[in-house]
Amino acid sequence: MSAVIIFTTFGLATALIGKAKGSSFFIWFLVGAVLPLLGLIAVVLYRVEKNEPERRCPRCGHVHKIYVQVCRYCGEDMYLPDPSEVRHPAR
Ligand SMILES: [Zn+2]
């Protein structure tokens, strides 16, 4: 019985943090309930994807997060981009 309470509590805590960071409540609830402590750590470390700066692949034009180093569509190496090509969704 106490295990159910622990899983539910961790699931809810993880889900609330995940939702606050703009991710899915349901997915993070599952992660938190299945992996009680690990899920909570994961959601705290999880970066807010929609606030990450983006830039466009110079070869194929697909948009990637700034930390992506190789285009997953065409394999183009993407080094540090020109500042004018970086897009900041949060601003
Ligand atoms: Zn590309």
Domain ranges of the chain: 2-46, 53-91
Q: Global pTM?
A: 0.52
| Rounded Cα distance, 12 and 54, in Å | 31
40 Cα: distance to centroid of ligand 1 (angstroms): 34
Residue 91 has what pLDDT? 55
Higher-confidence residue of 22 and 15: namely: 15
7 Cα: distance to centroid of ligand 1 (angstroms): 42
Q: How many CB atoms lie within 10 A of CB 83?
A: 8
23 Cα: distance to centroid of ligand 1 (angstroms): 26
Higher-confidence residue of 66 and 9: namely: 9
- Examine the pLDDT at 11 and tell me if it is beyond 70: yes
